[in-house]
Amino acid sequence: MNVRCNYCGHSFSLGREFMAMAVPQALEKRQKSVVVECANCRKQVKVPVRQMQRFVPRPAPDAPEESLEESEAS
């Protein structure tokens, strides 16, 4: 995902792996944005978590059949 620095206009990309780590952490802390460091000017750029979530695949259920069973049982 591409992020544009508010300060210097430099655009850089965030790795999927980084986002996959940062998004759950931010959600856990109830943060609405993740702070990343601009590769160019080293300032801190806030990236909205919601924006990142679009690029992070949801944790897939290991066994979809099981969750189906659960919902049927209840």
Q: Find the part of the chain contacting Zn ion (CB under 5 A) among 7-15, 27-35, 47-55, 66-74.
A: 7-15
Give yes or no for residue 67 binding Zn ion (CB under 5 A): no
Question: Of 49, 16, 15, nearest to 30 (Cα)?
Answer: 49
The alpha carbon of 41 is separated from its chain's Cα centroid by a whole number of angstroms, namely 22
Please count the residues of this chain forming the interface with Zn ion, following the rule CB under 5 A.
7
CA dist 10 and 57 (Å) reads 26
CA dist 45 and 69 (Å) reads 44
Give yes or no for residue 3 binding Zn ion (CB under 5 A): no
- Residues 21-60, mask of contacts with Zn ion (x by CB under 5 A): -----------------x-xx-------------------
Using CB under 5 A, list all residues that contact Zn ion.
5, 7-8, 10, 38, 40-41
